[in-house]
């Protein structure tokens, strides 16, 4: 059994009973029983007879190897059904999913807070992302167009045609237990694919709740439930999904180390892979920046979701002329932070997700101290004297601001993504220097420049500027909208999800040359006529 006391991060002892009551109400609103094991496998019917995953009060059943194989086979069968449903009709399914999600948005957002630990407004905002991408995909279902290409041969045309790809496996991470699946499901379903979801083993109830909502829509429309299947499990389940030749594409969100292995396995069987990996994101503050905007944005970027977003601000590069003022202002924001119950609307700082995350935080701070960094704020987990009685059993760390002796992007303290609220600060004199630091790390997800000089903007978004997938100006590194493609370059994995042209990864492309003439000429003027 894998024991997971998710709610204990938030409260224990004296207030455990009251939180349990709230948790029961939220789970009941999402049709999840609180007094029995919850099936963790869905392929048209609910099951799960493997090992148990404990998520506080309810208990979630993992997929056994045989159930996993059956689910994959049913996903394949479901694909053969959904691929023949006209794309606008698939869009109508997405519209219904969108409506069903919106009706449960607040309850599902609260469940995200309970199980993952992010504050309630962020939990609700995450569900809203799923709603938004479903909206987007409804329109996209009528716009997934190919192209007509001019042919050099008379009486010929060339078509580039997108068709459904097959079965798409989504392996999502704990930090966005709803939205990342939503990005993938919406585009995959619009494209005519079946999707099988293997969520993080530490957020099983979020995945069960979402799947119940989606399954109800599919069932009402007479479609196989395995169009949007679910398998809950640990590492073995993930490996089996990644290795399966029944899966045409794997969308993986997680660490660089695991992503590297996923990519190798999928490519070895010539499958398609979409990777969303590490994000060691930097904000650059120029001397002409509007600090009234930049300081709160960096504060949210570094502290939001307790530093556990892929797009969290982890590096801050300040121009020497404004460095002191910026840090003074930023520290005032940090001084207002208090750990609190994520379900309380006044809370800005929730817990980190696991005990292991506390260790990651402490190890990173120790490295900074050993390197001679000046710790301006934080630097230790919260002690009991900083926590109310109900919070003392949780995973609480103090958001930290550290100023190392110098900037060396080859050093581990700069080049490593630490999934915790630690902000590392460097001071620069020229924009080109800061851009080089921004680009000098292995990751390339999100980046942000704060300036009012259009010449700086041109450098930043141009060929010698940021090498990240997200290149913002006067917007923080965190909090992307769904309309543009989301993803990063370099060791972030080169994957793209959500808006823009991301849908093109979820189809297979065919170049179709049509001859409607009475001749059959060869391209490039080649002559291959029989002498007879």
Catalytic residues: 276
d(CA 10, CA 436) in angstroms, rounded, equals 41
d(CA 264, CA 241) in angstroms, rounded, equals 14
Query: CB–CB of 407/363 below 8 Å?
Result: no
Residue 190's closest CA among 431, 426, 441, 505?
A: 505
Q: In the 8-state DSSP scheme, what is residue 279?
A: -
In a 10 Å sphere around its CB, with 0-12 CB exposed, 13-18 middle and 19+ buried, how is residue 86 labelled? exposed
H helices present in 60-156, as ranges: 65-82, 87-103, 105-116, 120-140
Q: What's phi and psi for 116, nearest 5 deg?
A: -90, -40
DSSP-derived secondary structure for 21-44: HHHHHHHHHTT--SSSEE--EESS
Beta bridge partners of 158: 149, 513
Query: CB–CB of 313/283 below 8 Å?
Result: yes
Q: In the 8-state DSSP scheme, what is residue 155?
A: T
Cα 102 versus chain centre, distance: 20
Please name the residues in contact with 120: beta carbons below 8 A apart, sequence gap of 6 or more.
Answer: 109, 110, 113, 342, 343, 344, 345, 347
In a 10 Å sphere around its CB, with 0-12 CB exposed, 13-18 middle and 19+ buried, how is residue 428 labelled? buried
């Amino acid at each position: 059994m894998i024991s997971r006391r998710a709610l204990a991060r938030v409260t224990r002892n004296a207030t455990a009973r009251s939180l349990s009551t709230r948790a029961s109400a939220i789970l009941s609103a999402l049709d999840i029983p609180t007094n029995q094991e919850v099936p963790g496998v869905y392929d048209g019917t609910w099951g799960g007879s493997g090992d148990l995953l404990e998520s506080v009060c309810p208990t979630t059943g993992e997929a056994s190897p045989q159930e996993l194989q059956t689910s994959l086979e049913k996903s394949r069968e479901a694909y053969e059904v959904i691929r023949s449903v006209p794309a606008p009709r698939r869009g109508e399914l997405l519209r219904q999913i969108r409506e069903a999600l919106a009706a449960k948005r607040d309850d599902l957002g609260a469940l995200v807070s309970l199980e993952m630990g992010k504050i309630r407004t962020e939990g609700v905002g995450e569900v809203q992302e799923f709603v938004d991408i479903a909206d987007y995909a409804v329109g996209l279902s009528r716009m997934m167009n190919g192209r007509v290409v001019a042919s050099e041969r008379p009486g010929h045309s060339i078509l580039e045609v997108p068709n459904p790809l097959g079965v798409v496996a989504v392996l999502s991470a704990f930090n966005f237990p709803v939205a990342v699946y939503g990005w993938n499901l919406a585009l995959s379903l619009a494209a005519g694919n079946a999707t099988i979801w293997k969520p993080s083993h530490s957020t099983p109830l979020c995945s069960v709740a979402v799947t119940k909502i989606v399954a109800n829509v599919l069932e009402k429309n007479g479609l196989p439930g395995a169009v949007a299947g679910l398998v809950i499990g640990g590492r073995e389940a993930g490996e089996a999904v990644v290795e399966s030749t029944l899966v045409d594409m794997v969308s993986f969100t997680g660490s660089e180390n695991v992503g590297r292995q996923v990519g190798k396995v999928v490519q070895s069987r010539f499958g398609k892979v979409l990777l969303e990996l590490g994000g060691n994101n930097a904000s650059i503050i120029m001397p002409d920046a509007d600090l009234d905007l930049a300081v709160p944005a960096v504060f949210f970027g570094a502290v939001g979701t307790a530093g556990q977003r892929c797009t969290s601000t982890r590096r801050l590069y300040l121009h020497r002329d404004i460095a002191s003022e910026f840090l003074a202002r930023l520290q005032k924001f940090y001084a207002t932070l208090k750990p609190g119950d994520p379900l309380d609307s006044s809370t800005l700082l929730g817990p980190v997700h696991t005990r292991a995350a506390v260790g990651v935080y402490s190890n990173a701070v120790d490295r900074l101290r050993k390197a001679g960094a000046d710790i301006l704020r934080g630097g230790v987990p919260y002690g009991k004297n900083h926590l109310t009685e109900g919070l003392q059993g949780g995973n609480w760390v103090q958001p930290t601001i550290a100023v190392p002796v110098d900037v060396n992007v080859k050093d581990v303290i700069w080049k490593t993504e630490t999934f915790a609220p630690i902000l590392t600060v460097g001071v620069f004199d020229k924009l080109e220097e800061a851009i080089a630091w921004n680009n000098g790390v292995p990751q390339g997800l999100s980046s942000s420049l704060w300036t009012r000089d259009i010449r700086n903007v041109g450098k930043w978004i141009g060929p010698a500027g940021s090498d990240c997938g997200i290149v913002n100006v006067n917007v923080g590194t965190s909090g992307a909208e769904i309309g543009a493609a989301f993803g990063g370059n370099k060791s972030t994995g080169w994957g793209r999800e959500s808006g823009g042209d991301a849908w093109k990864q979820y189809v297979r492309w065919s170049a179709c040359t049509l001859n409607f003439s009475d001749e059959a000429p060869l391209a490039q003027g080649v002559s291959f006529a029989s002498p007879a």
